[in-house]
Chains A and B, each alone.
Chain A
């Protein structure tokens, strides 16, 4: 997959849904089935905002889409340097797509650093739009260009558009009472306007957005709007851009319904609010800021009118501690973090295992170990979630597969926590957190019923006939213990991290009781009701590719490619990592080969091999980026042939 797939040139005579500005029709319009655009610039150039806006325009137009923001951990790395480059890749199509795309068809490079940092990913034949104003001798030298790549022939074979974006923006804003520096800041909106013209994006959303964002600074709002329109008009009039493109809405790719674009962290925040509503419990979030999880804290803190309490704690330990305290009091307790935070929370997760209280531990995984790659993605916390505690401390683990799926994953995590009175890990990652895709908004009456029954009275009769409350007397089906919250008369009881006697919950150091309690806690988690694993295997393949979490998109895209090329391959994707679906062992044994691609060094493979004695083959990547479909397809082909 390299260049844009163009079909017969058609005049844009059909009304385009939702479009406000329309090309005049003086230029050629080509229809494409999909496009991958990457915006790249300095951290301060507003590339994430530009990408977000283009995404919103694209979503409201009805294309399927998938995004990949990629930015440095530094807020403002030195300007014009390679480490300071921030990019946003967007894949959109007239059909259902699964990934942000492997290789851009269009690269927008706001400076030489952005060009240099991204050119290796861009295949010949692609379009490159550069801001020539930034290609000064000094800027070129800063990133090690001996000669300008615009002149030395190194970009031969690309369709290069040299646009003095800064100059054009400043010129367009000369009527405004702005300094040159202030005017220059709008160059991302000029670029957005140009790309919006090129791809016939509806513009009203961006115009409304700018007016709202700068409501208190109408002058700045108008300047940005002027730059945006100037970019559009530039595309319309300049001869350099002879062609514009249409990508039709992906109407047939989606089931009917109301849609919006949503990122993983937003979907997760909404899922938590929905879970609390479905459980009829107040939501309490205890959290400490950490990339890439902080946006969940930000989002939930905006929804206090849902009875959501958000507590920014003094540290990760206090974040989960407060959430556990709230859970003791009858809230849906949640803590959100990333890998390093999980490490700090381990002891409290162990306490929650011992107390057998519901608690959600949301881990937005990032590159590790230690501080690692804070803004990049990885799946290397699976074993930490499984085993990162002292003693035998089993915790259910689930993982969403796409950004929008984070919503349902949150509900499922809450279901398990509330039903089984246990902490539950939800493993999202940086790619899901910041990436986005269209989401069919569920009807609220479609959501699962998560209501819980607090203990109301005695649950045990002593030999002498006395009715008493035993905090560790279990439900025979789920093995869950009663949740008796303070304020309930007659059920006063004490719980703690010391081993408890079965039933009474009193402190017990009895060897036999400890053995029994360890096994019972394990049995409770092992017995969690988990749906069977579904296998997609239309051709009776002998090789199975098994994944979990955010690799769903790339794996599925790779599987489609292989099947398109006539290969038979089966695919299954795990939501539940602990316990595994009951049919997983049988599924694995049906295949000659099992391949497990992971963004770690083989953590799921380790679990699968240990539990099922299956010679699962690992395919690993830990470069902070999601798999590319082409690369995975090649690896899977080798596995099939090997």
Chain B
């Protein structure tokens, strides 16, 4: 990717209030003593390893790192991190994390959630966390299925999916989490894949550096109930046509030798995929993750075919600066003290009309 910020957390404004670790950390420091209980072969293992491997790079005091999760397979994640953690209730992690992050700006707060947790039962909290722009990093493990309840269709399952609860095929149109997040005013939206550790780590790096809410959709394979759901993106040959790797400031090209590209349809303003030719090469869209308007990022998110996953963009679709909720909340407290002085309880209680009864 074009931008990296590996110089350490001293330069990351989003983490400037979080105390730093005293010594050098390693991946081992972030592994808890708990036995990991995901199914063998689950994509969650790869994500856990990537996160545990990445955290030392941030160099934060691990007691100031908190993982908050909801309910579902992915939500067991906090138990395996040797940080503070809360495994809460279904769908509510963004709300709980909002209270924590907005009252403790010295913490690095991460939310771990799944497609059912974040988009079904917790959809409301997710969209409101995104629009508020609280300093949270939300890792949304999307396996397009309910795993922990043993295989019902999820809000990201493709139409017609045959599951235990939909023997004749599901009728629900799926959410595209990236489109949803962009529509919910998210300031940072990215997508990555469990098996691509390098890409996943780079996305984590960028998210950690982002001030405000970062939503990272991680395509994650459930080898028990939805195995191979993302095979089109993982199989090297298929991936050439399926995966669009976005890099800020670079023309959006993919396919064998970059033979395919994304251009804007002059008539509709929409985006489309073309075969690159000398004539159209100059019109290939240059990815601008920092564009103020979410329009193009949204259009990019719509290129993916929900059934075949062809033309799935991965990387950082959107990363813009917007006022951060917890910073502003804290600023309001400071302003109130500036304007009215630090609160005096006795004066507050005796405010208004009073009278004295003499004994």
Q: A residues near B, CB below 8 A?
A: 17-18, 56, 59-62, 205, 251, 254-261, 270, 273-274, 277, 282, 284, 286, 303-309, 311, 313-315, 317-318, 321-331, 333, 347-348, 350-351, 355, 440-444, 486-498, 506-507
Contact = CB atoms under 8 A, between A and B. Distances in A.
B78 A258 contact: no
Contacts of A323: 99
A481 B16 CA distance: 32
Given A255-B357, A487-B19, 14 more contacts: A259-B354, A259-B355, A304-B332, A304-B337, A305-B340, A311-B99, A314-B124, A325-B100, A326-B100, A333-B99, A443-B346, A493-B85, A494-B85, A495-B87
Contact of B349 (A330, A331, A441): A441
Interface in B316-356: 329, 332-333, 335-337, 339-343, 345-346, 348-356
Interface in B61-114: 61-66, 68, 71, 78-79, 81-89, 92, 95-104, 106-107
A355 B96 CA distance: 13
A56 B352 CA distance: 10
A347 B357 contact: no
A68 B342 CA distance: 35
B358 interface: yes
A347 B84 CA distance: 22
A328 B86 contact: yes
Contacts of A507: 34, 79
Contact of A487 (B64, B82, B87): B64
A313 B357 contact: no
Nearest to A440: B357
Contacts of B124: 314-315, 318
Given A251-B357, A257-B357, A313-B95, A328 B89 contact: no
Interface of B: 19, 32, 34, 61-66, 68, 71, 78-79, 81-89, 92, 95-104, 106-107, 124-125, 128, 329, 332-333, 335-337, 339-343, 345-346, 348-359
Contact of A321 (B71, B81, B95, B340): B95
Nearest to A283: B103
8 contacts: A255-B357, A259-B357, A305-B343, A326-B104, A441-B350, A444-B346, A487-B106, A496-B85
B352 A260 contact: yes
B356 A257 contact: yes
Contacts, number: 214
Contacts of B84: 486, 492-494
Nearest to B339: A305
Contacts of A274: 345, 349
B355 A286 contact: no
A486 B104 contact: yes
B89 A347 contact: yes
A583 B61 CA distance: 51
Given A258-B356, A331-B103, A486 B350 contact: no
Closest 5 CB pairs of A and B: A496-B87, A322-B99, A325-B99, A321-B95, A306-B343
A331 B102 CA distance: 11
Nearest to B96: A325
Contacts of A18: 355
Contacts of A257: 356-357
Nearest to A468: B33
A168 B84 CA distance: 69
Given A255-B357, A496-B87, A321 B348 contact: no
A350 to B, nearest CB: 8
Contacts of A444: 345-346, 349
A127 B228 CA distance: 83
B89 to A, nearest CB: 5
Contacts of A351: 88-89
Given A256-B357, A321-B92, A486-B84, A277 B345 contact: yes
Nearest to B33: A506
Contacts of B352: 260-261
Given A62-B357, A259-B357, A444-B345, A325 B97 contact: yes
Nearest to B77: A494
A125 B126 CA distance: 62
B32 to A, nearest CB: 7
Contacts of B95: 313-314, 317-318, 321-322, 325
A486 B109 CA distance: 10
